[in-house]
Amino acid sequence: MEKSLVLIKPDAVQRGLAGEIISRLERKGLKIVAMRMLRMDEAMARRHYAIHEGKAFFDDLVRFIVSGPIIAIVFQGRHAVDAVRQMAGATDPARAQTGTIRGDLGMDIGHNLIHGSDSLENASDEIDLFFTAEDILSYDRETDRWIY
Ligand code: DAT
Ligand code: MG
């Protein structure tokens, strides 16, 4: 099944919204298969956001993501990459639809609460930046047969 890397960003941790965000993704049916809390350093942040290097917002983005603890989570499920992106909503919370995490909980593009991988290929690379193969747990949930 597909895996997606989710980051609960520093603003969400500071605002006490980590539980709310994780809960929404769990309630959808996505399964947590790895999770850790950490504070990214600049080198890790630059690697994670390498595709944005050179853009006007890159330095602010790196400064923001290292500004406090984050929670990195691997969510697994059918179409997990798209499911997380849809639930996160548009990049700018001001444009994100009501019902999405960013639309419901955020105000500003520089404080948009959550990262979700944008493709299966990027998900795999992003997961490797935060987790080893042994960190990813494979297990069944009794509820899975009621989700699929
Ligand atoms: P997403 O997080 O929706 O995948 P992205 O990959 O295009 O968005 O950009 C990564 C992060 O960079 C995004 O979550 C917030 C920040 N960002 C993107 N575009 C921005 C902009 N125009 N101004 C300020 N920050 C921006
Ligand atoms: Mg992105």
> Token pair for residue 3?
């895996």
Q: Is 7 helix (H, G, I), strand (E, B) or coil?
A: strand
112 lines ligand 1 (CB under 6 A): yes
State the DSSP code for 112: -
- Per residue in 118-134, pLDDT (tens digit) is 999 999 999 999 999 99
For the chain, list the domains and their CATH numbers: 2-139 (3.30.70.141)
- Per residue in 5-31, pLDDT (tens digit) is 999 999 999 999 999 999 999 999 999
- Per residue in 69-91, pLDDT (tens digit) is 999 999 999 999 999 999 999 99
Asked if residues 87 and 101 have their Cβ atoms less than 8 Å apart, the reply is yes
Asked if residues 22 and 8 have their Cβ atoms less than 8 Å apart, the reply is yes
List the catalytic residue out of 52, 79, 111, 115: 115
Report percent pLDDT > 90 for the chain. 100
CA distance 64 to 146: 39
Predicted local confidence at residue 114, as pLDDT: 99
110 lines ligand 1 (CB under 6 A): yes
Question: 109, 111, 113: which to mutate for ligand 1, most atoms within 8 A of CB?
Answer: 109
Q: Residue 137 — pLDDT band, cuts 50, 70, 90? A: very high
